[in-house]
């Protein structure tokens, strides 16, 4: 969320920057609403001062034996005016909050122009996409032939865009999560958390999912409780520090969690409906860093490296791109995607997004720290996937497939699995 005064001071600059991401900012309406809110606040303060003056005058006049009827009537009128002014102020404050909640973050100057994935700018490629002397299969064909992926029974249970992993497939899923968590906690210094998967409306609002993306969320209502299934571990991890002041000496905070994620994917039907790429329920290891505002970009670069480490451990070819301003998420000011090569699609596909939010989430969630002068200020947040389990599993199957229908797994997974190869019949083979 923005500070309305900052947007107004930026004026046309804020309008131009938000236009890069397709948002039209009506700066005059914002200025008018803020002015009316401030005027209402001043009126309320003046009326309260007048009410206190009248109360003192009533006491003094009563002590002197004077007539207080007119003074009491004036005091009653002042109290009524205070109630009316407070109601108006609350209404204007809510209107201002709703307007500010609807304005996306200002894109960074480094974000290229454009509004689609085709406008992303490639930063680097790591590893060579594997070449095969046979026609490579996608992870769906591979997994179903092995008997380790079952989409048909998942559909029977829950409808389309769910999956069941069986035997070695389930073990591989568990091994990937363990590998990623060990990398981030033992090598990269993150603190692992186990967090709730159901959160409040306020928690969703703090990280920017609400109010804009309510149609993309799964919601549950039991009795009088209004709770949402988390779309990403970013939501509970970031909001752990909502409405708190974090001492500067404790920053940066580095948090990680392995959670399920639930997304309705509203508006995406027809895209990536096959396989593990875009599902209603999937698992992910999430990374969150909370830091001083001037450290956000450096922390983002460090996190990109942490996500890349997961791909290198799996011997996967990938590339890093910077998303265009119009394709950057609502709350982010700059996003780098890691895209892994999928032979079954003969294309690079997103496997991790790492975003710098600046103080946007900190302001919304009330996550604060102190500046060099000891004054409270919103903290900055950075988050990224490190990594989604399903997409990583799909890439491992596809990039490491063999001509005989087996998959030769990367050595980093052997300590977690106890075997090196998944045979064509889905059984473990080799050590």
Three-point CA angle 307, 310, 311, nearest 5°: 95
Instruction: Give every CB contact of residue 184 below 8 A, 6+ residues apart in sequence.
Output: 190, 192, 256, 285, 287, 306, 386
Positive or negative torsion for Cα 104, 110, 114, 116: negative
What's the pLDDT tens digit per position in 116-175? 999 999 999 999 999 999 999 999 999 999 999 999 999 999 999 999 999 999 999 999
| pLDDT mean over 213-223 | 90
- DSSP calls for 222-290: ETTEEEEE-SSTHHHHHHTTTTEE--GGGPSEEEEEEEEEE---TT-TTSS-STTSS-SEEEEEEEEEE
Give the separation between CA 392 and CA 386, rounded to whole angstroms: 10
* Unique residue bearing structure tokens 């001083």: 292
Helices (H) and strands (E) in the chain, counts: 13, 19
Is the pLDDT reported for residue 367 higher than 80?
A: yes
Catalytic residue among 278, 364, 368, 421: 278
- The answer to whether the beta carbons of residues 107 and 21 sit under 8 Å apart is yes
pLDDT, tens digit, for every residue of 401-425? 999 999 999 999 999 999 999 999 9
Among residues 20, 137, 161, 263, the one annotated as catalytic is 263
Catalytic residue among 21, 391, 406, 421: 391
Q: What does the pLDDT look like over 3-37, one tens digit per residue?
A: 999 999 999 999 999 999 999 999 999 999 999 99
What is the percent of the chain where pLDDT is above 70? 98
pLDDT tens across 274-288, in order? Answer: 899 999 999 999 999
pLDDT at 270 over 60: no
- Token pair listed for 423: 């045979």
Over 60: is that where the pLDDT of 271 sits? no
Question: Domains in the chain, start-ordered, CATH in brackets?
Answer: 4-101 (1.10.287.40), 117-429 (3.30.930.10)
Q: Show the tokens assigned to 231.
A: 């779309």
342 pLDDT more than 80 = yes
| pLDDT value of position 109 | 95
Q: Tell me whether residue 353 is one of the annotated catalytic residues.
A: yes
Q: What is the mean pLDDT of residues 39-60?
A: 93
Of 392, 324, 422, 346, nearest in space to 115 by CA: 324
> Above 70 in pLDDT, residue 266?
no
Asked if residue 269 has pLDDT above 70, the reply is no
pLDDT for res 274? 84
Strand pairing partners for 340? Answer: 318, 349
For 221, list phi and psi in degrees, rounded to 5: -135, 115
Asked if 278 is an active-site residue, the reply is yes
Spot the catalytic one: 31, 57, 88, 350.
Answer: 350
Mean pLDDT, residues 108-114: 96
Are the CB atoms for 421 and 407 separated by under 8 Å?
yes
Residue with the larger pLDDT of the pair 197 and 62: 197
> Exactly one of 40, 163, 353, 385 is catalytic; which is it?
353
pLDDT of residue 431: 67
pLDDT in tens, 175-198: 999 999 999 999 999 999 999 999
Rounded distance, CA 195 to CA 393, Å?
24
DSSP one-letter code for 431: -
Could you tell me the maximum CA-CA distance found in the chain, to the nearest angstrom?
108
pLDDT at 221: 85
Please check the confidence at residue 267 and state whether its pLDDT lies above 60.
no
Residue 358 region by backbone torsions, left for phi larger than 0, else alpha for psi between -120 and 50, else beta = left
Residue-level pLDDT at 110: 95
Residue that is written with structure tokens 């091994």 in the block? 175
């Amino acid at each position: 969320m923005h500070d309305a005064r900052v947007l107004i001071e930026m004026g046309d600059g804020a309008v131009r920057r938000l236009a890069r991401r397709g948002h039209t900012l009506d700066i005059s309406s914002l200025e008018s609403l803020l002015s009316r809110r401030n005027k209402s606040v001043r009126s309320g303060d003046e009326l309260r001062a007048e009410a206190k003056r009248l109360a003192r005058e009533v006491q003094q006049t009563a002590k002197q034996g004077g007539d207080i009827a007119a003074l009491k009537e004036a005091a009653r009128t002042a109290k009524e005016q205070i109630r009316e002014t407070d109601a108006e102020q609350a209404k204007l404050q809510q209107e201002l909050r709703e307007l500010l909640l609807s304005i996306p973050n200002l894109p960074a100057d480094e974000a290229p122009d454009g509004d689609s994935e085709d406008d992303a700018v490639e930063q680097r490629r790591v590893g060579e996409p594997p070449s095969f002397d046979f026609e490579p299969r996608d992870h769906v064909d591979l997994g179903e032939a092995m008997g380790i992926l079952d989409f048909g029974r998942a559909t029977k249970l829950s409808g389309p865009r769910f999956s069941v992993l069986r035997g070695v497939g389930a073990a591989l899923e568990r091994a990937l999560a363990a590998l990623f968590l060990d990398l981030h906690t033992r090598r990269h210094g993150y603190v692992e958390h186990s967090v709730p998967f159901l959160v409040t409306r306020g928690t969703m609002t703090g990280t920017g999912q609400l109010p804009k993306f309510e149609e993309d969320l799964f919601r549950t209502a039991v009795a009088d409780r209004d709770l949402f299934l988390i779309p990403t571990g970013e939501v509970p991890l970031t909001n752990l520090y909502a409405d708190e002041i974090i001492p500067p000496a404790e920053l940066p905070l580095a948090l990680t969690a392995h959670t399920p994620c639930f997304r309705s994917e509203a508006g995406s039907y027809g895209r990536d409906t096959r396989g593990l790429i875009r599902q209603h329920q999937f698992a992910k290891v999430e990374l969150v860093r909370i830091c001083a505002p001037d450290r956000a970009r450096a922390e983002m670069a460090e996190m990109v490296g942490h996500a890349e480490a997961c791909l290198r451990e799996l011997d996967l070819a990938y590339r890093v791109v910077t998303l265009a301003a119009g394709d950057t998420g609502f709350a982010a000011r700059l996003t780098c995607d890691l895209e892994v090569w999928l032979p079954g699609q003969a294309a690079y596909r997103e496997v991790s997004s790492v975003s710098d939010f600046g103080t946007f989430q900190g302001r919304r969630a009330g996550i604060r720290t102190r500046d060099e002068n000891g004054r409270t200020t919103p903290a900055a947040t950075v988050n990224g996937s490190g990594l989604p389990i399903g997409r990583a599993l799909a890439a491992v199957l596809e990039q490491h497939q063999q001509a005989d229908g087996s998959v030769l797994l990367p050595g980093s997974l052997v300590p977690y699995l106890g075997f090196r190869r998944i045979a064509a019949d889905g059984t473990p083979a080799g050590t």
